Amino acid sequence: MNKFVSFLSYMGTLGAGIGIGVLCSREYFAKRESERADREIDSMKESMRKTYIKEEPEENDDSVVVGHIMDAAKAAISSSSLQYCTFSNKIDNVESRLAALEHPRDEEEEKKPYFIDIDDFDSVTLGYAKKELSYYMDDGTLVDEEENILSIVDTVGWSNIESFENSLESSCYIRNEALKEDYEISKVFSSYGSMMGDD
């Protein structure tokens, strides 16, 4: 009987030791991972700070400013591959803006509707109205919030709708400078006629 009690005592002590060891090692590795993440974040902040402090651009030199922003985004991507998805869209946007600075569009092209990102849509642009539109995929109908049918050419442009139609995105954002309107367009996977009860 004494051997059985001492065996149970030994097993209880062993189990408690293993449990404490597991908890301590778990805490140790969590702390170590947290410190590694903090070091990586500090390193990214330092590289971005160095990029912005290089040299001060002249007040009206937009291409230099855009270049600095693009360099900072690329530095952030190279320092952490986990953040590639977050910054890749921003780099595309910055590169297109830089290209626009290098090759300005003519007046007619300037008035054509173009894609913007959600940050541009959410920002306050003086004089621009924000509108939510629905695009019915089955019959290619664009409607506003009151279900009024809109001209695709006059509001968002055919090429933009075709790109949106072929994308995997469920919504997009377009700016029309001629009408001073920003649109959030959502795909509807049915026809406008069926929604309105037409057969």
- Asked if residue 123 and residue 174 are part of one domain, the reply reads yes
- Asked if residue 124 and residue 153 are part of one domain, the reply reads yes
pLDDT, tens digit (0-9, with 9 covering 90-100), for 149-189: 999 988 999 899 999 999 999 999 999 999 999 999 999 99
pLDDT, tens digit (0-9, with 9 covering 90-100), for 74-97: 665 554 443 444 344 455 555 555
- Asked if residue 93 and residue 13 are part of one domain, the reply reads yes
Mean local confidence (pLDDT), 124-139: 90
Contact (CB, 8 A) for 187 and 135: yes
**CA within 13 Å, CB half, 90:** 17
Count of the separate structural domains present in the chain:
2
- Asked if residue 97 and residue 31 are part of one domain, the reply reads yes
In the chain, alpha helices (H): 2-53, 62-79, 84-102, 107-110, 118-122, 152-155, 158-166, 192-195
- Asked if residue 116 and residue 75 are part of one domain, the reply reads no
What confidence score (pLDDT) does residue 84 get? 44
What confidence score (pLDDT) does residue 91 get? 55
42: pLDDT confidence band, cut at 50, 70 and 90? Answer: confident
Of 54, 72, 102, the last residue of a domain is 102
DSSP one-letter code for 127:
T
Q: Over the chain, what is the mean pLDDT?
A: 75
Interacting residues of 74 by C-beta distance below 8 A, sequence separation 6+:
91
Task: Give the residue numbers spanning the domain of 129.
Answer: 107-195
- Asked if residue 90 and residue 159 are part of one domain, the reply reads no
CA 139 – CA 94 distance, rounded (Å)? 35
Q: What is the pTM of this model?
A: 0.46
Of 102, 121, 152, the last residue of a domain is 102
Of 86, 102, 118, the last residue of a domain is 102
- Asked if residue 179 and residue 127 are part of one domain, the reply reads yes
- Asked if residue 145 and residue 164 are part of one domain, the reply reads yes
What confidence score (pLDDT) does residue 74 get? 62
Structure token pair of residue 90: 């921003």
CA 157 – CA 112 distance, rounded (Å)? 7
- Asked if residue 89 and residue 51 are part of one domain, the reply reads yes
Report which of residues 170 and 57 the model is more confident about: 170
- Asked if residue 143 and residue 87 are part of one domain, the reply reads no
- Asked if residue 72 and residue 135 are part of one domain, the reply reads no
- Asked if residue 98 and residue 111 are part of one domain, the reply reads no
Contact (CB, 8 A) for 92 and 98: no
